Amino acid sequence: MYKLRAFCTLTAVLMLLAIVGCTSSGTSVSSSSPTPQRAVVVSGGNGGGTTIFLPSEDNSHVIVMSTSGTKVCPDCQAAALKYFQTGELEAKCPTCGATRTPVMLMLPTPSHD
């Protein structure tokens, strides 16, 4: 069970890196000032899938990415929004039983040379 959870979490983080970390070929990257990107990875629960929540630019709602066929738990979605607004996250969902994991990625910011 632990290996499956670790695999799902790793897969979700790699999906997040692929989506958020893509840059155009004409953009140079500066490694001096990385930009933090927060996310909440929700795995397991009643549906057994993986969902990634990203904050909106103004922190008023979350952007949802999930594996095919995964139902999004409204309580997990609300908890992710609360995490982005306050930094507090309950690790286990009392409604669906999923594990919630906060993730912080440090992505390089594009240089405007």
Q: Where are the beta strands (DSSP E) in the chain?
A: 29-44, 50-55, 62-66, 98-110
pLDDT for residue 74 is more than 70:
yes
From CA 49, how far away is CA 47, in angstroms rounded? 6
- The pLDDT confidence band at residue 30, using thresholds 50, 70 and 90, is very low
The pTM (predicted TM-score) of the whole model is 0.66
Measured distance CA(12)–CA(52) in Å, rounded? 7
Mean pLDDT of 8-13: 54
Token pair listed for 22: 């893509």
Classify 22 as helix, strand or coil: coil
Q: Rounded to whole angstroms, how far apart are CA atoms 48 and 77?
A: 16
